[in-house]
Amino acid sequence: MKALALYIILPVATSVVGSFVYDGIKGVAVFSTLSSVLYWLWSTFVSILTLEIKLWIVFAGLLFLRILQKMRKALDERDIRNRPEWSKYTSGVLRKWLWTWRYNFQATQGIVIENLVPYCPHCACQLQAYNTLQGRYYRCPNHPLEAREQETFAEYEDPEEIRKLILHRIASGSYPRE
Ligand SMILES: [Zn+2]
């Protein structure tokens, strides 16, 4: 008896009451407009979800990305041609050691010096960094005896200072020209 009520009477009653309510609402203009708006929203939502992605759209998208990439490359190349003279200044002796570096141009920070690498001023061998309790020092792997003298703080060249010296030389125009 309970099953009968659940599976037959309840659905029938619901649909009958539902259709009465629907007919009643349909008669009122506001509700009819509202229901058509809701129906339109629902069908748009369903059509977005079931939208087929056409293969040509994928190809067109890929082509568009490729064109953007090419344009970016062309702009980068133009940038390199238009770079100022000092941008060729990427190595030199600031104090005693020989340093090499690269520039990075950033809108917020301006010129940023990156990849600062120290070299032995006598043989141009790259210096090796050592960290000790006393601090960091560098030694030329090619000149171990001379390196003993370099193991003092006085000989230590701070990359931050070197950065500032490079920027100062650029700003004052005192960097060596080729
Ligand atoms: Zn050396």
Q: How many whole angstroms from 121 Cα to the centroid of ligand 1? A: 7
Helices (H), the chain: 2-4, 10-27, 29-49, 55-81, 144-150, 159-172
Average pLDDT score over the chain: 80
Tell me, what's the pLDDT at 18? 56
Name residues with Cβ closer than 5 Å to ligand 1, which is an ion.
120, 122-123, 125, 140, 142-143
Q: How many whole angstroms from 40 Cα to the centroid of ligand 1? A: 79
Q: How many whole angstroms from 131 Cα to the centroid of ligand 1? A: 19
91-109 as b/e, with b when 16 or more CB fall inside 10 Å?
A: eeebeebbbebebeeeeee
Q: How many whole angstroms from 136 Cα to the centroid of ligand 1? A: 18
- What pLDDT, in 10s, does the model give residues 69-104? 999 998 888 776 777 888 899 999 999 899 999 998
Q: How many whole angstroms from 109 Cα to the centroid of ligand 1? A: 35
By the 8 A CB rule, do 97 and 118 touch? yes
The amino acid occupying position 25 is: I
Which carries the bigger pLDDT value, residue 37 or residue 29? Answer: 37
Burial (CB count <10 Å: 0-12, 13-18, 19+), residue 116: middle
Q: How many whole angstroms from 93 Cα to the centroid of ligand 1? A: 14
Compute how many other C-beta atoms are within 10 angstroms of the C-beta atom of residue 78.
9
pTM exceeds 0.85 for this model: no
Q: How many whole angstroms from 118 Cα to the centroid of ligand 1? A: 11
Tell me, what's the pLDDT at 49? 76
Q: How many whole angstroms from 2 Cα to the centroid of ligand 1? A: 98
DSSP state, residue 154: G
By the 8 A CB rule, do 77 and 133 touch? no
- What pLDDT, in 10s, does the model give residues 14-36? 555 555 555 565 556 677 788 88
Split at pLDDT 50, 70, 90, the class of 57 is confident
By the 8 A CB rule, do 98 and 119 touch? yes
Q: How many whole angstroms from 123 Cα to the centroid of ligand 1? A: 4
